[in-house]
Structure 1
């Protein structure tokens, strides 16, 4: 691999090749990043819903147990 880039200017190695790689694989990278962000959002929504459910159930159980003391 070094022999291929040996006679080329620095900008080909450090600018042109990464730009070509981003153009070719940019859609794949964007879809992976989008998938990860969507997954993170779904995990956060799940955690919020489970936390809210636990809060409501504990609040209801505390309210119903104090009513049975009467």
Structure 2
């Protein structure tokens, strides 16, 4: 198999075969990349919401303990 592959012209090995692979598996790759980016966005959104919640709770508890309100 390797001998057959090595006897092919360079443009077939380095252009045509990768182009066919992208054509066949391109939608799978795009779906995977979209899923990973969506997951990262949700993780960052969750972290930001938790940070805002902690900030608000600390501000409220420090204000209420000193006797002042919002």
TM-score by length of 2: 0.91
Runs of 5+ unmatched residues, structure 1: none
**1:3: how far off?**
1.5
Is 1:47 aligned to residue 47 of structure 2?
Answer: yes
**1:6: how far off?**
2.5
Tell me how many residue pairs correspond in the alignment.
68
TM-score by length of 1: 0.91
1:6-65 CA distance string (max 9 Å, x none): 221000001100000000000100000000010011011100100000000000000011
Runs of 5+ unmatched residues, structure 2: none
Partner of 1:8: 8
CA RMSD of aligned residues (A): 1.2
Structure 1 stretches of at least 4 aligned residues deviating more than 3 Å after TM superposition:
none
